[in-house]
Structure 1
Amino acid sequence: MVDLRSLEVFYWTATLCSFRRAAERLNTTQPAVSQRIAALEETFGLKLFERRARSVCLTAKGRELLVYAERFLRLRTEMMSAIASSDTMKGVLRLGVSETIVHTWLMRFIEAMSQTYPGVTVDLSVDISPNMREALLSRDLDLAFLVGPITIPSLVNLPLCSYSVAWIASPRLDLGPGEVTLADLVRHPIITYPKNTNPYVQLHDLLARSNLPPPRLYSNASLSTIVRMTVEGIGVCVIPPEVVSREIESGELRVLPTEVLLPDIAFSAAYANTPDCGLAAPAARLACAVAGGTGLQ
């Protein structure tokens, strides 16, 4: 008799093309995965995988079985979502988060997760959106709060929040009390997000179209470092004001009055569209509720 656990092992082995990676994903051992697959093949009396040196691939019958395995696992997820209490959900949620979210409402989300799903542990990593996108596709993350949406069919995207971007500087910079032009801004180093992110690309394109002398453009993956450099008067940063609300209130930083505008940064909760996305889907919906409650949408 084929059980759901064996189908789950089969699904992840087929999806990740590896006994080892399937074992890591399911928190078990590679021999245990091999035994499950061997038992399935014995049950059906045929080979489900072609073994290679460092990977496996499905046979024709294996591809047929994958369709049924996905149906069973998706139905189990739907059943648990509809019937089970949130208190009964257990496991580890591997969550990737943009640092902008860390500086705004992430702690409220962690608190809400703890109250709603006390049996779930959140394994948190902070990274830039391009890296998290790849981690979602390779199944190294279950859920990510990143700049989005990501237009890939294998990923589900839920809109979280959006932030306007401002030009922010220390009062010690000589920029005057009135409106600041782009020419005034680029007299100082410009500090912003890393090069392979949308905010950096949009800023770079704006400056390239300006016909002004090329500015000193400093990119940094650490928002904390960007804020510190700006407070120290090294340059003008281009980030959401919400990230530095305390520094603005204390007078360490100020939002510069300017008509030089950049697009808002939109964030999404993204997770793989897999039949057993049990923890990721409700956690993403909870994040939407938390982000919506901040008044940022």
Structure 2
Amino acid sequence: MADFRSLEVFYWVATLSSFRRASEQVNTTQPAVSQRIAALEHEYGTLFERRSRDVALTERGRVLFGFAERFLSLQVEMGAALAETGRTMGTLRLGVSETIVHLWLSRFIERMRAALPGISVDIAVDISPNMQAALAANEIDLAFLVGPITLPSLANRPLFSIPVAWIAAPGLVPEDGALSLGALIRHPLITYPRNTGPYVELRDLVLRANLLPSQIHTSASLATIVKMGIERLGICVIPPAVVRDELAAGALRILPAEQSLSDLNFTATFAKRPDAHFVADAARIAQEVAADWAAGRQADRAAGR
């Protein structure tokens, strides 16, 4: 009969598709992992199809994976229920889009401290494609990113949508009614990195119009994009909400444009794993904070602020 440790090892080999990465995850050696998998396969039959670079579950392995997931989930629930402190303890490895850092991340941290005081938060700020890869590699537990990500191993919880606009320093672009796409791209454009949605949309707009932009500058740092815009180095293609103060102070302005841009849709995305049951609670808290932020933003618009 398989013990909990063997099921844990099996679970991580199946999840990460790698004996080596699973050994790092469960803090043991690769030979020890191989030995436990061999013992399981001796008892239950072939569980993995060995390939050149990774492993994949067989039909029998998929059956065992479902039971392993349930066993490990029950083990976590039991530990939480019997903890002497009555408090969930652990670390949430959180990936965050810099856009959210500028909007409501601090409120989320405050709400986490109140709701889950035993959970520390380890924050990594990155772009959405990198966070998707980090989730798949089990390098982070939860990501606030541009989503949803349609993978069966991941759960998505909607957070909010935010408009994107053409934004520039006053006087950079002549004010003469709604600007055409051609008029806009006579100036350098500044936006998110090349493997992100805003950049891809911008590139496709230019290609479909058969136009040649002067330059498209990209940066993973939103603060850098904003600074370049203020210093009149080009037109920023970013959400106005992240430069609310700069717009109010007159350092930047939203350009009237014929060409609209797609909203950014953010989700709280996490892997469906039994070993960190507080991750779903953190995603729910993020939804609450995002809803409060959106309601406050709507109230400010109604009041003309």
Q: TM-score, normalised by structure 2?
A: 0.82
Consecutive unaligned residues of structure 1, counting only runs of 5 or more, are: none
For 1:71, give the aligned amino acid.
R
Q: Is the Cα–Cα contact under 8 Å of residues 145 and 267 in structure 2 kept in the other structure? A: yes
| Residue in structure 2 matched with residue 9 of structure 1 by the alignment | 9
1:65 and 2:64 aligned: yes
Question: 1:199-218 maps to which residues of 2 (within 5 A)?
Answer: 199-218=198-217
Aligned pairs for 1:215-226 (under 5 A) are 215-226=214-225
Tell me what 1:274 maps to: 273
1:134 corresponding residue in structure 2: 133
Aligned partner of residue 214 in structure 1, secondary structure: coil
Moved more, 176-185 or 276-285: 176-185
Counterpart for residue 147 of structure 1: 146
In 1, distance between residues paired with 2:212 and 2:21? 50
Q: 1:255 to 1:53 in 2, by over 3 A?
A: closer
Give the direction of change, closer, same or farther, for the CA distance of 1:190–1:64 in structure 2 (3 Å limit): closer
CA contact (8 A) 1:145 1:267 kept: yes
- Residue matched to 2:110: 111
The amino acid of 2:256's aligned partner reads: P
How far off its partner does 1:41 sit?
4.9
Correspondence for 1:197: 196
Distance 1:98 1:48, change over 3 A: same
Q: Is the 8 A contact 1:93 1:143 kept in 2?
A: yes
Q: What is the deviation of 1:137?
A: 1.5
- The two structures, once aligned, show a CA RMSD in angstroms of 3.4
In the other structure, the counterpart of 1:184 is 183
Contact 2:6 2:40 in 1 (8 A): no
In the alignment, which residue of structure 2 is the partner of 1:259?
258
On the 8 A contact 1:99/1:126 being kept in 2, the answer is: yes
1:136-161 Cα shifts (integer Å, max 9, x gaps): 12222211111111111221111111
Q: Distance in 1 between matches of 2:51 and 2:284?
A: 40
* 1:86-101 correspondence runs (5 A): 88-101=87-100
Structure 1 residue 281: deviation in Å? 1.1
Cα distance, 1:79–1:260 mapped onto 2, change above 3 Å:
farther
Q: 1:21 to 1:252 in 2, by over 3 A?
A: same
Query: Is the 1:19–1:30 Cα contact (8 Å) retained in structure 2?
Result: no
Distance 1:60 1:229 in 2: 54
CA distance 1:35–1:181, change in 2 (3 Å)? closer
The whole-number CA distance in structure 2 between the counterparts of 1:267 and 1:32 is 41
Counterpart amino acid of residue 126 in structure 1: V
Letter matched to residue 232 of structure 1: E
AA aligned to 2:268 is: A
Instruction: Report the CA distance between 1:224 and its aligned residue.
Output: 1.1
In structure 1, C-alpha distance between the alignment counterparts of 2:48 and 2:153, rounded to whole Å: 23
Offset at 1:177? Answer: 6.2
For 2:79 and 2:177, how far apart are their aligned partners in 1? Answer: 59
Pairwise CA distance, 1:37 = 2.7
Write the mapping of 1:148-187 to structure 2, written as runs, cut at 5 A: 148-176=147-175, 178-187=177-186
Count of equivalent residues: 296
SS of 1:88's equivalent in the other structure is coil
Distance 2:115 2:220 in 1: 32
Residues of 2 paired with 1:247 and 1:123: CA distance?
29
Q: Percent identity?
A: 54
Deviation at 1:83, TM superposition (A): 9.8
Q: SS state of the match for residue 135, structure 2? A: helix
Unaligned runs of 5+ in 2: 299-305
TM-score (ref. length: structure 1): 0.84
Deviation at 1:272, TM superposition (A): 1.2
1:176 counterpart SS class: coil
- For structure 1, which segment, 230-239 or 256-265, has the greater mean C-alpha deviation from structure 2 after superposition? 256-265
State the shift of 1:259 in Å.
2.9
**For 1:11 and 1:294, how far apart are their aligned partners in 2?**
38
> Are the equivalent residues in 2 in contact too, given 1:143–1:270 (CA < 8 A)?
yes
Over residues 149-184 of structure 1, what are the superposed CA-to-partner deviations in whole Å (9 max), with x where a residue is unaligned? 111122111111111011110114142264333333
Contact 2:80–2:88 (8 Å) recurs in 1:
no
CA distance in 1, matches of 2:224, 2:210: 29
- 2:187 and 2:213 in contact (8 A); partners too: no
What SS does structure 1 have at the residue aligned with 2:293? coil
C-alpha contact 1:147 1:268 (8 A) present in aligned 2: yes
